């Protein structure tokens, strides 16, 4: 997931108004100034990027799936995929949750396909981070491309821990990290 998603200010303000200025993650008030907001796609964009589907993309980019939250809340949110339990736990009115639940149902096939690809990638790495070798679970792994010049598919996928994922956010840095691990990525038992 990109750390700086491009979502128009109009859409962000609409998202802010929908939750009456309350952060859905912690339940506390947000600043009225948009420079203090962080944009969260409740169902992450990664899903339509790895499992391309026009309808799912529209659902994920719709304002119903976009929330403005505290930057620190967004940061502490793990890489877990949304679940009905997570929707239940949202600090939001019933109406907002009901809409989110409908959207989730519509996107469910894509979410399931994405989760399966991630699980298969992680299993191929013996459930370890592709870079540092740290043990990973499905919920704390982030899927990234091995080679940025190739498409998003199972063959070009690797799972990283949070720390390596942040470092790999810079393409140059990612290339260096991969080169260092060339012999063992993505077959990792030797790490």
Binding footprint of Zn ion on the chain (CB under 5 A): 23, 25-26, 70, 73, 129, 131-132, 134, 161, 164
Q: How far is the CB of 35 from Zn ion (least distance, A)?
A: 16
Nearer residue to Zn ion within complex by CB, 111 or 141: 141
The residues, any chain, with a CB within 8 Å of residue 53's CB and separated by 6 or more, are 110
CB 148 within 8 Å of CB 83 = no
Query: Within 13 Å and on the Cβ side, how many CA atoms surround 159?
Result: 30
Q: Give the residue with the Cβ less far from Zn ion, 127 or 134.
A: 134
Nearer to Zn ion, 19 or 51 (CB): 19
Least distance to Zn ion, CB of residue 181, Å:
10
Query: How far is 50 from 48, CA to CA, in rounded Å?
Result: 5
CA 83, 86, 90, 94 dihedral sign is positive
Cβ 162 to Zn ion shortest distance, Å: 8
| Closest to Zn ion by CB, 23 or 87 | 23
20/55 with CB nearer Zn ion? 20
Q: How far is the CB of 105 from Zn ion (least distance, A)?
A: 26
Residues 6+ away with beta carbon under 8 Å from 189: 126
- Least Cβ distance, residue 142 to Zn ion (angstroms): 10
Q: Which of 89, 90, 33, 32 is nearest to 64 (CA)?
A: 90
């Amino acid at each position: 997931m990109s750390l700086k998603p491009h979502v128009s200010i109009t859409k962000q303000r609409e998202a802010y108004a929908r939750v009456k200025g309350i952060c859905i993650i912690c339940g506390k008030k947000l600043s009225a100034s948009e420079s203090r907001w962080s944009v969260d796609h409740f169902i992450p964009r990664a899903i339509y990027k790895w499992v391309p589907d026009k309808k799912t993309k529209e659902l994920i980019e719709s304002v119903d799936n976009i929330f403005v939250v505290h930057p620190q809340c967004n940061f502490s949110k793990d890489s877990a995929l949304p679940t009905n339990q997570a929707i239940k736990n949202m600090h939001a009115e019933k109406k907002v949750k009901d809409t989110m639940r409908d959207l989730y149902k519509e996107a469910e096939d894509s979410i399931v396909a994405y989760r399966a690809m991630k699980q298969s990638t992680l299993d191929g790495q013996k459930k370890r981070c592709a870079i540092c070798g740290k043990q990973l679970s499905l919920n704390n792994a982030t899927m990234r491309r091995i080679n940025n010049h190739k498409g998003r598919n199972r063959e070009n996928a690797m799972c990283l821990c949070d720390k390596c994922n942040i470092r790999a956010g810079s393409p140059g840095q990612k290339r260096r990290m991969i080169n260092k691990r060339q012999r063992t990525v993505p077959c990792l038992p030797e790490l």
